[in-house]
């Protein structure tokens, strides 16, 4: 016999309570049930669960770090700093951001993942984050295209054949979209240089001569004096935990984004359209 504490998995707790796995995730996300996290997985201390069931204790709140995850967006990054909202950032791509958000590693995540239906983000959120108590809102529409040095302008996806491309990490929305476009044009012989983990790093690779081209944002090309050929307009959204939405850090950021200074900044960033900013796209 051992006196070591035993932890239940999501599936084991669901069977114990005779509820679906999704309901377990909902209870944990709301802080309604005792839980802990190890290696990205939710675990439930059996003794505390039994006490909770018997009404002997109040469940502790599952607190998320005040961190924004997901894709790198220059306007969002600037707004977080300028608003002094206190939110930190861990920007590692759209796909990774959603996975970390589901694991409780942050209060929000940015993403720009094209759906199979040619829309943006909702199909991915429904598939991977439907169990979280969250809301998906629009941040901006951004212009993405081919960034090159002025003496090597490329204007079509087909022109990438044989070119040295500064690529993003495979889980990023940028890499996913470029792969789809290359496949549609049957371009298979690009030379990949990377991966780069931010819009800035990939664009700097072109500016410094380490790559011929990157599939980046218009604003990044403008900032570094590079050529830009538009290819797609993408919708960048924020998936925000519902409780965190109303807490001071997120509210400070959202209030700042209503200021004229924010609108002026967006207007001076080529390729940005914030007309639909704040529109609710999806709720859990």
CATH number at residue 87: 3.40.190.290
**Predicted confidence (pLDDT) per residue in 220-254, tens digit:** 999 999 999 999 999 999 999 999 999 999 999 99
Residue 44 to residue 35: CA distance in whole angstroms: 4
> What mean pLDDT comes out for the span 133-159?
95
User: Quick one: 33 and 69 in the same domain?
Assistant: no
The tally of domains found in the chain comes to 2
User: Quick one: 89 and 201 in the same domain?
Assistant: yes
User: Quick one: 35 and 70 in the same domain?
Assistant: no
Task: Tell me how far CA of residue 186 lies from CA of 190, 214, 248, in angstroms.
Answer: 11, 18, 49
Give the angle 120-121-127 at the CA atoms, nearest 5°.
Answer: 135
**pLDDT, the chain, mean:** 90
Residue 32 to residue 10: CA distance in whole angstroms: 14
Structure tokens at 219: 């604003």
Which string of b and e fits 76-89 if b means at least 16 CB within 10 Å? Answer: bbebbeebebebeb
This prediction's pTM: 0.77
Structural domain includes residue 181: yes
**Predicted confidence (pLDDT) per residue in 175-194, tens digit:** 999 999 999 999 998 998 88
| Owner of token pair 């909202």 | 85
User: Quick one: 49 and 154 in the same domain?
Assistant: no
Signed CA dihedral, 75, 81, 85, 88: sign only: positive
- Percentage, residues of the chain above pLDDT 70: 94
Structural domain includes residue 44: yes
Q: How confident is the model at residue 277 (pLDDT cuts 50, 70, 90)?
A: very high
Of the two residues 7 and 195, the one the predictor is more confident about is: 195
User: Quick one: 184 and 90 in the same domain?
Assistant: yes
Q: What are phi and psi of 29, to 5 degrees?
A: -65, -35
Structural domain includes residue 2: no
Q: How much is the pLDDT for 61?
A: 52
Cβ-Cβ contacts under 8 Å for 30 (sequence gap 6 or more): 62, 133, 243
Q: How much is the pLDDT for 4?
A: 54
Task: Tell me how far CA of residue 58 lies from CA of 20, 54, 72, 226, in angstroms.
Answer: 22, 11, 38, 58
Q: How much is the pLDDT for 62?
A: 61
Q: 281 lies in which domain range?
A: 64-284
Q: Return the DSSP state at 190.
A: -
Structural domain includes residue 59: no
Is-cis flag, bond preceding 225, omega within 30? no
């Amino acid at each position: 016999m051992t006196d070591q504490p035993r932890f239940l998995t999501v599936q084991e707790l669901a069977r114990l309570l005779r509820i679906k796995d999704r309901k377990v995730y909902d209870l944990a996300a709301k802080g309604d049930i005792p839980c802990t996290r190890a290696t990205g997985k939710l675990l439930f201390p059996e003794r505390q669960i039994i006490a909770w069931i018997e009404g002997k204790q109040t469940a502790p709140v599952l607190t998320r770090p005040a961190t924004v995850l997901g894709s790198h967006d220059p306007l969002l990054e600037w707004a977080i700093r300028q608003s002094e909202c206190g939110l930190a950032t861990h920007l590692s791509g759209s796909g990774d951001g959603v996975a970390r958000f589901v694991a409780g590693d942050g209060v929000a995540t940015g993403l720009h993942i094209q759906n199979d239906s040619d829309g943006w983000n909702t199909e991915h959120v429904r598939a991977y984050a439907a169990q979280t108590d969250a809301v998906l809102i629009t941040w901006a529409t951004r212009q993405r295209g081919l960034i090159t040095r002025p003496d090597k302008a490329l204007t079509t996806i087909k022109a990438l054949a044989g070119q040295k491309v500064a690529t993003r990490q495979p889980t990023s929305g940028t890499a996913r979209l470029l792969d789809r476009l290359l496949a549609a044009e049957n371009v298979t012989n690009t030379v990949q240089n990377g991966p780069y983990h931010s819009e800035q790093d990939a664009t700097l690779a072109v500016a410094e001569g380490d790559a011929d081209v990157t599939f980046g944002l218009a604003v990044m090309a403008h900032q570094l004096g590079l050529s830009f050929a538009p290819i797609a307009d993408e919708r960048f959204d924020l998936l925000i935990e519902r409780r965190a939405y109303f807490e001071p850090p997120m509210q400070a950021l959202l209030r700042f984004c209503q200021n004229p200074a924010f609108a002026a900044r967006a207007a001076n960033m080529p390729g940005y359209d914030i007309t639909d900013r704040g529109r609710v796209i999806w709720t859990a």
